[in-house]
């Protein structure tokens, strides 16, 4: 959805003035592949431009850091300059294909100080800028999540890239405003559900020190689709686009394989096995996960580095009181199944609330009910050692798929409504996350 598409139009243009026309179709034969529980807008909602580049230009740049070294792989020649955040030139060299810069005592990228170096690639008048952060993500021996070797509890929220008046065409100022609201919430992690969001958005996550989970748009696929060779090949293309286009962002901690698909089936197992190996081969420096809504019956948990779970006890099924036994049973259940070395993250939980509905009783749809609900789950996650974090569903109310059973036709589980007006749960989460270290 927010990934970049490019087309070589060299044979169709001439010197001088050219007219480029983009045709937008309302339907496509693969629409079902990206069928999600949100409103699907038509049209072009990212930047469109024609780019003229010199012959022999750099086609791809891949940057990875280790200890005090920046390694660069690129497809082409370039003069490369390395700067610190204050603009001081640290090193410069010409390279073709590969380059390496040693940085003495590099300052590490983290939430408190998202320190970004800058690389400039210059060739035949073309200049490409790329931000670089020294950071590592690992799982510790006690199942803790480590950033640069330091334990960090993931305090997260799910985020849809949408606006009530502009849909998916948010400008820079609006994106910055949303990120300001996230920072005030005391989060350190954003799950970009259920698709890679704009590069502008992820650039700001890099600069603001917010960790991110990116995933492809693969939501609630059933066994027949998971067994389809066509779907497998399409998924590989999406994984490749996601990793190749977003690889250099230091904020990305998790590549997401899919969301709430039937991982309790043989087809789900085989698909997830394929996906895990495919993505891990492209990038083994990051963690891989998928959001499962069937923890007890999931047979695919070996193909993730973090067990991520979506659950809505007390709303779609079960009772709210089921949360205690569910979360406190994580470790014993994983030990019995041979996955005791994996941490758990609650990747989705929440209930709807409507601004203006208030009650002294525990009444569904009230703001008090939502605030008490998320408080219960966040506290349970914080108390359980094997749980490395949580991500509330969802930051803002958003227009859902056409469904008359949903109030206003919206998913109303947001901590704020679609106009960024806070509900009581926003302040409750802000308070809770502030006190989780």
Give the domain ranges of the chain.
61-137, 152-434
> How far is 196 from 99, CA to CA, in rounded Å?
29
CA-to-CA separations, 234 to 30, 213, 219, 237, 293, in angstroms, rounded: 9, 21, 14, 5, 23
What pTM does this model have? 0.95
HSE-CB at 311 with a 13 A cutoff on CA atoms is 26
> How much of the chain exceeds pLDDT 70, in percent?
96
Tell me the pLDDT band of 33, cut-offs 50, 70 and 90. low
CATH match of 61-137 with 2.60.40.10: yes
The pLDDT value recorded for residue 63 is: 96
pLDDT over threshold 90, residue 44: no
> How far is 429 from 433, CA to CA, in rounded Å?
6
> How far is 100 from 82, CA to CA, in rounded Å?
11
Among 3.30.230.10, 3.40.50.9100, 4.10.1240.10, 3.20.20.80, name the CATH number for the domain at 152-434.
Answer: 3.20.20.80
Rounded to 10°, the helix 424-434/367-383 angle is 20
The pLDDT value recorded for residue 402 is: 66
CA dihedral sign of residues 371, 374, 376, 378: negative
> How far is 226 from 228, CA to CA, in rounded Å?
6
- Ramachandran angles phi, psi of 12, nearest 5°: -105, -5
Q: CATH topology of 61-137 equal to that of 152-434?
A: no
Tell me the pLDDT band of 37, cut-offs 50, 70 and 90. confident
CA dihedral sign of residues 234, 238, 244, 247: negative
Calculate the CA 299 to chain-centre distance.
Answer: 24
Q: What string of H, E and C letters represents the secondary structure of 176-218?
A: HHHHHHHHHCCCCEEEECCCCCCHHHHHHHHHHCCEEEEECCC
pLDDT over threshold 90, residue 386: yes
pLDDT over threshold 90, residue 72: yes
The radius of gyration of the chain from alpha carbons, rounded to an integer in Å, stands at 22
pLDDT over threshold 80, residue 405: no
pLDDT over threshold 60, residue 150: yes
* Residue 399 · residue 419 · CB < 8 Å: no
Tell me the pLDDT band of 362, cut-offs 50, 70 and 90. confident
| Nearest of 290, 285, 312 to residue 301 by alpha carbon | 290
CA dihedral sign of residues 141, 146, 150, 156: negative
pLDDT over threshold 90, residue 34: no
Calculate the CA 81 to chain-centre distance.
Answer: 30
């Amino acid at each position: 959805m927010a990934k970049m598409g490019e087309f070589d139009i060299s044979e169709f243009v001439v010197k001088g003035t050219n007219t480029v026309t983009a045709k937008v179709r309302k339907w496509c034969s693969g629409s079902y592949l990206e069928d999600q529980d949100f409103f699907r807008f038509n049209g072009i909602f990212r930047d469109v431009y024609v780019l003229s580049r010199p012959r022999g230009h750099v086609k791809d740049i891949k940057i990875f850091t280790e200890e005090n070294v920046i390694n660069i792989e690129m497809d082409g020649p370039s003069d490369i300059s390395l700067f610190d955040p204050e603009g001081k030139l640290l090193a410069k060299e010409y390279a073709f294909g590969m380059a390496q810069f040693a940085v003495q005592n590099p300052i590490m990228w983290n939430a408190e100080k998202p320190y970004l170096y800058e690389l400039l690639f210059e060739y035949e008048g073309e200049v490409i800028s790329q931000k670089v952060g020294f950071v590592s993500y690992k799982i510790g021996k006690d199942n803790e999540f480590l950033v640069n070797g330091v334990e960090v509890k993931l305090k997260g929220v799910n985020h849809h890239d949408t606006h009530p008046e502009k849909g998916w065409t948010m400008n820079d100022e609006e994106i910055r405003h949303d990120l300001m609201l996230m920072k005030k919430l005391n989060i350190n992690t954003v799950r970009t559900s259920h698709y890679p969001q704009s590069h502008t958005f992820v650039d700001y996550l890099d600069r603001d020190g917010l960790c991110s989970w990116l995933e492809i748009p693969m939501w609630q696929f059933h066994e027949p689709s998971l067994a389809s060779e066509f779907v497998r090949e399409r998924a590989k293309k999406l994984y490749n686009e996601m990793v190749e286009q977003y690889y250099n962002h230091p904020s990305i901690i998790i590549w997401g394989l899919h969301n709430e698909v039937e991982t309790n089936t043989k087809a789900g197992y085989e698909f997830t096995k394929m996906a895990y190996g495919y993505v891990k081969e492209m990038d083994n420096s990051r963690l891989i996960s998928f959001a499962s809504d069937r923890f007890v019956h999931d047979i695919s948990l070996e193909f993730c580095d973090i067990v991520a779970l979506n659950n809505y006890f007390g709303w779609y099924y079960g009772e709210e009181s089921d949360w205690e036994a569910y979360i406190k049973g994580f470790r014993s259940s994983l030990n019995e199944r041979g996955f005791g070395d994996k941490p758990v993250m609650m990747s989705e939980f929440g209930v709807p609330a409507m601004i203006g509905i208030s009650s002294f009783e525990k009444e569904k749809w009230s703001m008090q009910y939502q605030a008490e609900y998320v408080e219960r789950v966040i506290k349970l996650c914080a108390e359980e050692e094997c749980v490395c974090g949580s991500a509330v569903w969802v930051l803002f109310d958003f227009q859902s798929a056409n469904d008359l059973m949903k109030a206003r036709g919206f998913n109303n589980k947001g901590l704020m409504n679609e106009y960024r007006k806070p509900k009581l749960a926003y302040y409750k989460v802000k308070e809770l996350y502030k006190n989780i270290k």
